[in-house]
Structure 1
Amino acid sequence: MMTFSKAGLAAAVMAAFAYLPLQAGAGLLDDAEARKAILDLRTKVDAVTRELNGRIDGKSDKTSTLELINQHEQTMQEIARLRGQIEVLANELSNAQKRQKDFYVDLDARLRKLEPRQISIDGKDAAVQPSEQASYDAALLLFKAGDYKAAAAALDGFVKRYPESGYAANAQYWLGNSHYALRDCKSAIAAQQVVVKAYPDSPKAADAMLNMASCYAELKDKANAKKTLDALVAQYPDSSAAQTAKERLPKK
C-alpha cells in the first residue's frame, strides 16, 4: 500500500488545484483575474492542506495512542503475571514459615519431654527422666493388676537400669512384695534387705523389715522373725510398722 508524507500530499494537492483551473481558463482571464484566481486556489490548497494535515496528525495520534494502549495492556498483563507469582511465593513463604514454627514448637515439646522433671517422692525432691517415670509407672501398674510375675521382672529391670533413681527404694520394696505375692519368701527377704541396707532413710525401710519378719515367720524361722521385729522397733520406733512389730512380739 502506497504512503505519502505531509509535504508530499500538500504538494500533490497544490499541483492538482493549480494546474487544472489555469489550463481551463488560459486565454480567457487577464493578469489581475489570473492572480486573484491563483490566490483563491492557494487559499483553497492551504485549507485542504491543513485539513489533510489535521487528518494525518489525527491518524498519527490514534496510531500512537493505540500503540500506547497496547503497550499499557501488555504492561498490565505482565504486572498481573508478576503479582500472581508474588502471591504464590508469598503463600509458599507463609506456609514454610508456619511449618518451621510448627517444627520448632514440636521439637521444643519433644525436648521438654526428654528433660528430667523435679518431683517429690516420699517428701524428697528428685529429678526424674520421662522414660524413668514411664518405666516405674508401668511396673507398678502390673503389680496393681495382680500380674506379680511380670511386675517382678519389670521392677527388677527398673532398679538395675535406674539404680540412682528417686524411685529406686520404692521399686525395690515393691519387688520384694511381688516375690512375696508369688510365695517366694526367700527372694522377698533378699529384695527387702536391699531396701533396708541401701535406703535406710526411705519411708519404705520400716515396712520392708516388717515384710521380712512376716516371711521368716512363714518359713518357720522364728528366731530371725523376732530378731527382725526387734531391729525394726529399735531403728524406726515412731513408724506404724514398729507399732505392728510390737504387737507381734511376744509379751515379756
Structure 2
Amino acid sequence: MSEPSHRRWAALQAGALLLVAIGAQPVRAGILDDDEARRQVKDLSIKTSERFDTVSKGQIELANQTQALREENAHLRGQIETLTYELDSAKKRQQDFYIDLDGRLRKLEAPLTASVEAKPAEENKAAAEAPRKPASDPAIETREYEAALNLFRAKKVKEAAAAFDAFAKAHPDSTLTPSAYYWLGNAHYALGDCKKAIDAQRVVVSKWPANPKAPEALLNVATCQHELADARGAKGTLETLVAKYPESTAAVTARQRLKK
C-alpha cells in the first residue's frame, strides 16, 4: 500500500473509533440515569413506608387516647350520678328530719301554751280591760299551717314559703307563728336564699326566745352564715346557741361544729 493510501486508511479507522466512542456515551449515561432513578425510587419508597408507619402509630395512639377518654368520661358520669343520688337522699333525709322535729317540738309547745293560758287572775283581769282583738280560730290556724307544711313535704318549696309567710302575717299572735317563721326560713334556705333564711330564723329567736324552735333556728342561722363564707359570724352564732340553750339538741351539734 502506498503512503497516501496508508494515511487515508488510518484516518478512516480513527474516524470510525471516534464515532463508536460518541455513540457509546449516551448509552452509558442512560444506564447511569436508570440506576439513579431506581435508587431514588427505592429511597422514596423507604421514606413513604417510614411515614406510613409513623402515621399508623399516631392513629393507634389517638385511638387509644380516645378510648381512654371515653372510659374516663363514663367513670365521671357514674360518679356524677352517684353524687346526685346521694345529694337527693341527703336532702330527703334532712326534710324528713325537719318534719319529724316539727312534730316533736309541737308536742313540747302544748304544755307551754297551756301555761300561758293559765295566767294569774290579775293578769286575766288586765287583759279583759284591754281592747280585745277578734278571737282567732285554732282550728283554722291549724289547717292553714298544716297546708303550708304539706306543701313543703311535697317539695313545693316556693309555694310553701309563700304559705308560711301569709300565715305569719295573718296570725301574728298564733302559737304556731314561731313554727311558721322557722319553716319559712327553711323554705328560703331550700330555695338558695340564705339572707332571707337568716332573717326568718332570727325572727324566731328575737320574738320567741323560749320557743323550742329557737335553738334550731340559731343553728340554721349558723349554717347559712357558713355558706355565705361568714366564718366569724357562724362561730359567734354557734357560741351563742351553746350559751343560751346548753341542754338543747341543737347545742350538741353546735359544739361538734365548733370543734372542727
Normalised by the length of structure 1, the TM-score is: 0.50
Runs (4 or more) in structure 1 with deviation over 6 Å come to none
Aligned to 2:109: 122
Q: Does 1:229 align with 2:250?
A: no
Q: CA deviation at 1:137?
A: 0.8
The answer as to whether partners of 1:128 and 1:166 remain within 8 angstroms in 2 is no
Aligned counterparts of 2:210 and 2:152: Cα–Cα separation in 1: 24
Q: Does 1:160 align with 2:169?
A: yes
Note the alpha carbon deviations across 1:51-78, whole angstroms, 9 max, x for none. Answer: xxxxxxxxxxxxxxxxxxxxxxxxxxxx
Aligned counterparts of 1:143 and 1:170: Cα–Cα separation in 2: 13
Aligned to 2:119: none
Secondary structure of 1:213 counterpart: helix
The answer as to whether partners of 2:148 and 2:163 remain within 8 angstroms in 1 is yes
The answer as to whether partners of 2:221 and 2:237 remain within 8 angstroms in 1 is yes
How much is the aligned-residue C-alpha RMSD, in angstroms?
Answer: 1.8
Q: CA deviation at 1:130?
A: 2.1
Normalised by the length of structure 2, the TM-score is: 0.49
More helix by share: 2
Aligned to 1:72: none
The answer as to whether partners of 2:208 and 2:214 remain within 8 angstroms in 1 is yes
Aligned to 1:182: 191
Within the candidate set 203, 207, 211, 1:198 is matched to 207
Q: Does 1:239 align with 2:248?
A: yes
Secondary structure of 1:122 counterpart: helix
Note the alpha carbon deviations across 1:23-73, whole angstroms, 9 max, x for none. Answer: xxxxxxxxxxxxxxxxxxxxxxxxxxxxxxxxxxxxxxxxxxxxxxxxxxx
Aligned counterparts of 1:222 and 1:175: Cα–Cα separation in 2: 24
Percent identity over the alignment is: 51
Q: CA deviation at 1:246?
A: 0.4
Aligned to 2:147: 138
Aligned counterparts of 1:121 and 1:160: Cα–Cα separation in 2: 24
- Structure 2's unaligned 5+ residue stretches are 1-105, 115-135
Aligned counterparts of 2:194 and 2:146: Cα–Cα separation in 1: 24
The answer as to whether partners of 1:139 and 1:151 remain within 8 angstroms in 2 is yes
- Structure 1's unaligned 5+ residue stretches are 1-118
When residues 128 and 234 of structure 1 are mapped into structure 2, their CA distance, relative to the original with a 3 A threshold, is farther
Aligned counterparts of 1:125 and 1:146: Cα–Cα separation in 2: 30
Q: How many residues align?
A: 133
